[in-house]
Amino acid sequence: MDYTDLYINGGWRKTQERFDVINPATEEVLTSVASAGISDTDAALDAAEAAMADWAARTPRARSEVLRKAWELMTARLEDFARLITLENGKARADAMGEATYAAEFFRWFAEEAVRADGLITHAPSSGARIIVQHKPAGLAVLITPWNYPAAMGTRKIAPALAAGCGVVIKPASETPLTMLALMPLLEEAGVPPGLVNVLPSKRTGALVDHMLHDPRVRVVSFTGSTGVGRTLLKGAADQVLKPAMELGGNAPVIVFDDADMDVAIEGTMLAKMRNLGEACTAANRIYVHEKIAPEFTRRLTDAMSALKVGDGTDPSVDVGPLVNAATRDKVAEFVADAVAKGAKLECGGKIPAGKGYFYPPTVLSNVPETADCVQDEIFGPVAALQTFTNTEDVIRRANDTEYGLVAYVFSGDFKRGLQVCERLDYGMVGLNRGLVSDPAAPFGGTKQSGLGREGGHEGMLEFMETQYISASW
Ligand code: NAP
């Protein structure tokens, strides 16, 4: 591992305190990483402030070209990034390649968006003054990312921040700091000036982030992670009234109608459930299948889940790697035990294998009762929890009956009915006959306690910009 220190002002800084990064497939220490303290945050913010002055003054095209170069360089090195992602996170090679590709695409998309911060000029209806509206970089941004997508959750914030003209300090998840550190030499090569992007892994996360949120130079806090930590950060952001962008937890329902194309529904549900082995905020958490097709759907989904090969994600023949750590694996096992105790039927999986590594097998539960914990909370693992329904109104009510509102999936052969149901789901995103909605060109984000703001699409860059209106006469 070449990059294990703090990355500040374009250089590597050592610290006294370090912490270990574990390979979840072997439980062995991969390496240790420097742990940032409060004084390091001050150095990182100083560097970001100095670099931003020049960066924000560059033309949009100049910023765009640096981002475009970052996409080219990352695309040429997908294999290297995928390998590192697998080593520190555990996900199988195909998932890791998918993530690396997705992560790189944010640089391309925001290279294209950097030159499209459109404003407006119009006449005020009554006074006749000109209304001029423009967008300006919001200021320094603190970015906090989770372990489930060590590359993509970072680039989904870095790329729009840089496109907008902001400098950033990133606090990557302690389980998976290596990928973000490894991205830094690539950004240097692409032409990102020293200091504009700084990376601070730390074991003193709460105090470190809180200190940055109270620095008067910081104007944006962009967070992806659990709803609980999101609430804490929103409270911290209130003191300086920071712009918050919050990508939080999910509890995604999948609704499969009896007129759905069965092949499409199985493929889409597998993707929604097993992409990233279920460790995704977008993962199918509650799968509602029309009673008429439930026996066939359950059998086919069980066959597909049972056919997946579990093992060390660095082996290219493996479909499902280990979960990220023992706590995550044990929580998944508890969800299954709880559902079974409350009357669910175990169709396959459900047993932690012996030996090293935080593995959990692809598991299908049918007849999951509404009272099961996994109906209320994110499973965050490879467990498909099936329920049945007969009535459309009833399934819409059940799907909406959660504090979360990130993503839902609907499968129906009747496009009109499908769209009508999509519109009544209180979710920021809906997949209609698709198990994958994530796309750099689309606004990703949730309603209710799944978050605030959007990443990607045209909205993504605006999270890092302030709107200024000038009332002018001439
Ligand atoms: P997490 O525990 O909330 O941690 C996320 C990040 O927040 C990590 O960098 C963590 O640092 C940091 N953190 C923890 N406590 C903090 C505090 N008091 N103040 C400031 N930062 C703090 O979430 P996770 O377990 O890594 O990720 C899983 C969660 O993320 C799930 O709920 C999932 O749904 C959500 N997620 C949402 C999206 C989305 O786009 N909506 C995407 C991916 C994941 P340490 O690692 O050092 O603790």
Q: 106: domain CATH number?
A: 3.40.605.10
Q: What is the pLDDT of residues 76-132, one digit of tens each?
A: 999 999 999 999 999 999 999 999 999 999 999 999 999 999 999 999 999 999 999
* pLDDT reported for residue 285: 98
Residues 243 and 304 in one domain: no
Please indicate, yes or no, if residue 228 is contained in any of the structural domains: yes
What average pLDDT score do residues 337-356 get?
Answer: 98
Question: What span, in angstroms and rounded, lies between the C-alpha atoms of 276 and 100?
Answer: 12
Query: Would the pLDDT of 42 be above 90?
Result: yes
Please indicate, yes or no, if residue 404 is contained in any of the structural domains: yes
Nearest CA to ligand 1 atom 10: 173
Q: 333: domain CATH number?
A: 3.40.309.10
* pLDDT reported for residue 123: 96
Please indicate, yes or no, if residue 299 is contained in any of the structural domains: yes
pLDDT over 70 percentage in the chain: 100
Separation of 61 CA from ligand 1 center, angstroms? 33
- What rounded mean pLDDT belongs to the chain? 98
Residues 192 and 258 in one domain: no
Torsion of CA 247, 248, 251, 255, to 10 degrees: -10
Q: What is the pLDDT of residues 199-256, one digit of tens each?
A: 999 999 999 999 999 999 999 999 999 999 999 999 999 999 999 999 999 999 999 9
User: What type of residue is 473?
Assistant: S
* pLDDT reported for residue 169: 98
Q: Report the domain count for the chain.
A: 2
Question: What span, in angstroms and rounded, lies between the C-alpha atoms of 86 and 26?
Answer: 12
Catalytic residue among 281, 348, 374, 422: 281
Pure H helices in 165-311: 178-190, 205-213, 227-238, 262-274, 294-306
Please indicate, yes or no, if residue 445 is contained in any of the structural domains: no
Residue found by looking up tokens 């007969």 in the block: 390
Nearest CA to ligand 1 atom 16: 206
Residues 244 and 261 in one domain: no
Residues 360 and 412 in one domain: yes
Query: Would the pLDDT of 13 be above 80?
Result: yes
Residues 70 and 22 in one domain: yes
Please indicate, yes or no, if residue 1 is contained in any of the structural domains: no
Q: What token pair was written down for 293?
A: 């097709």
Label residue 427 by pLDDT band (50, 70, 90). very high
Residues 459 and 337 in one domain: no
Q: Give the domain range for residue 379.
A: 252-439
Question: Is the Cβ atom of 447 under 6 angstroms away from ligand 1?
Answer: no
Please indicate, yes or no, if residue 114 is contained in any of the structural domains: yes
Residues 87 and 184 in one domain: yes
* pLDDT reported for residue 474: 84
- Pocket mutation for ligand 1, best pick of 88, 226, 247, 285 (most atoms within 8 Å of C-beta): 226
Q: Which candidate, 404, 400, 369, places its Cα nearest to that of 385?
A: 369
Please indicate, yes or no, if residue 444 is contained in any of the structural domains: no
Label residue 158 by pLDDT band (50, 70, 90). very high
Separation of 224 CA from ligand 1 center, angstroms? 6
Inter-CA distances, 451 with 223, 244, 248, 407, 428, Å? 9, 10, 5, 11, 9
Please indicate, yes or no, if residue 340 is contained in any of the structural domains: yes
Which helix (DSSP H) or strand (DSSP E) does residue 111 occupy?
helix 93-113
Residues 236 and 262 in one domain: no
Residues 138 and 265 in one domain: no
Residues 191 and 267 in one domain: no
Query: Would the pLDDT of 1 be above 90?
Result: no
Residues 212 and 291 in one domain: no
- Pocket mutation for ligand 1, best pick of 22, 35, 229, 379 (most atoms within 8 Å of C-beta): 229
Question: Is the Cβ atom of 209 under 6 angstroms away from ligand 1?
Answer: yes
Start-to-end CA distance of the chain, whole Å, equals 61
The reply to whether 247 belongs to the active site is yes
The reply to whether 374 belongs to the active site is no
pTM exceeding the 0.95 threshold for the entire prediction: yes
Task: Round the CA-based radius of gyration of the chain to a whole number and report it.
Answer: 23
Question: Is the Cβ atom of 429 under 6 angstroms away from ligand 1?
Answer: no
Q: What is the pLDDT of residues 261-283, one digit of tens each?
A: 999 999 999 999 999 999 999 99
Residues 295 and 374 in one domain: yes
Question: What span, in angstroms and rounded, lies between the C-alpha atoms of 439 and 442?
Answer: 5
Which atom of ligand 1 is found nearest the CA of 202?
47
Query: Would the pLDDT of 74 be above 80?
Result: yes
Q: Which candidate, 276, 278, 296, places its Cα nearest to that of 286?
A: 278
